[in-house]
Each structure stands twice: as C-alpha cells, then as structure tokens.
Amino acid sequence: MKCRFISKVGWDAKLVNESYPWVEKQIVHRPKFSPFQRAVRDSLIDTGVSPFNGFTYDHIYGTKVGGTIFDRFGRRHTAAELLASGNPEKLTVLVHATVQKIVFDTTGKNPKAVGVIFNDENGKQHEAMLGNDKQSEVILSSGAIGSPQMLLLSGIGPKAELENLNISVVLDNHFVGKGMIDNPMNALYVPSNRPVHQSLIQTVGITKKGIYIEASSGFSQSNSSIHCHHGIMSAEVMK
C-alpha cells in the first residue's frame, strides 16, 4: 500500500504493509463460493464491472472475490484472536474496563499520550500509564464514534466546543468529530420460489464511481422483514 496518509502521520510504511498479511493469515479465510455469489460474479462481469480479479484481498477496480472472517466450519474469527500471538508473560488484558480519558504529557512541544484513566465493572477508577520502554504507546481504537468521543473527552478537539463543556483544552483541532458520514446503500431483493443457499458477501464489484456492489443470500428473516427465499444485491456509495 502506497499512501500519502501513512508517511504524513509518520508511520513505518514497511511495517504497515507487513501487518496486513499478518492479520489476514490469522483471521481471514477464503470463502466457500456459493451458487448465488457465482451468479452475481458472472452478472457483474457481463455488465462491464471488469476485469475479473479472482480471489484477492486487494482493493482493485473490477469484480473480485474477497476474504471472510468465517472459516469453513462457519466459525467467526475476530481481532481478539491476534492476542494469541503475543507473549502471555508480557500481556495484561483487562475486560469490563471503560476508558474515561487519555492522559497527556503537555510539557513538550506537542502533547504526548502517556496513559489512560479507566473504570472497572464496579465503577472504580484506575490509571494505566506507559512504562519507560521507548516503544510503549497508547493506541486509540474505540471505533468510528468512540475514538473521536474519547479525543474530545481528553481535551483534543474544537476549542470553543470543549470550553463550553468545561473540558480543559490539550490541543485545538477543528476536525475531531466532524468527519462522520453515511455510506448510503440501496438493496435490491431477488425473490425465489426455491430456497437460496445462504451466503454472506463474497463477490464484490468495485467501480471507479465510488460505488461498491455486493450481495448476500438466503437469510432467515425477522418478522418485520421479507417472507420468501431471496438473494440481495446492494450498491453502497463510499466516499
């Protein structure tokens, strides 16, 4: 992956590129290709979403078959499994720990994250601070909504908004919390008289117009949903 973003934020591009296959090898699988997904693949190619790029994890224009976190037994694999590659002697995992804020050292030119304050399941507050090891770091990964929320609670965000909420400003940054957008999706249901093999998204059409075409099929539906065998094609607009 060659990306200006990676060099701009000062990450090690080699390490970033090595990390993808490392993660993929452990939790991503090649899907068992279902008949509906095969039909979708052929239809996409027929309608000009080409070339066909085969099975690949790469994000390339055309039609492809992507990886899945379900293995051939239908078991789902998650990022939690990556912990198994760590050294248990050196690893402490806390569950039911809700981070309240990131602690910053503000004595240098730029604020530096040096720890977190978190509550346990009984609401008791604790601190986890970095050790002296130069490689120690705080990694913020609380999701699309949780990560900007945590930055704001910790004093990084638009100054006026933070001051309004009596949050001490660590860094004035107008962009925090402002980049959330919807990825609108249109779904097309294809009813069938016969049961349709169940499949999650396997085939993907990636167009140059920023629209992804994906498909799933054969789900058991809730009462509020459609009541017949079907496949679903969806077009999702990605910005």
Instruction: Kindly list the residues in this chain that would bind ligand FAD in the complex (CB under 6 A).
Output: 98-99, 141-143, 146, 150, 201
The CB-of-69 to ligand FAD minimum distance in angstroms stands at: 9
- Please say which residue, 132 or 141, places its beta carbon nearer to ligand FAD: 141
Residue 14 backbone phi and psi in degrees, to 5: -65, -45
The CB-of-92 to ligand FAD minimum distance in angstroms stands at: 15
- Is the separation of the CB atoms in 227 and 221 below 8 Å? yes
- Please say which residue, 86 or 143, places its beta carbon nearer to ligand FAD: 143
- In 33-170, the DSSP E strands lie at 52-55, 62-65, 98-105, 112-119, 125-129, 156-157
Q: What is the sign of the dihedral through the CA atoms of 159, 165, 168 and 171?
A: negative
- Please say which residue, 132 or 181, places its beta carbon nearer to ligand FAD: 181
The CB-of-220 to ligand FAD minimum distance in angstroms stands at: 18
- Which residue minimizes CB distance to ligand FAD? 143
- Please say which residue, 201 or 206, places its beta carbon nearer to ligand FAD: 201
Nearest to 212, CA basis, from 186, 231, 238: 238
- In 66-184, the DSSP E strands lie at 98-105, 112-119, 125-129, 156-157, 171-172
The CB-of-185 to ligand FAD minimum distance in angstroms stands at: 10
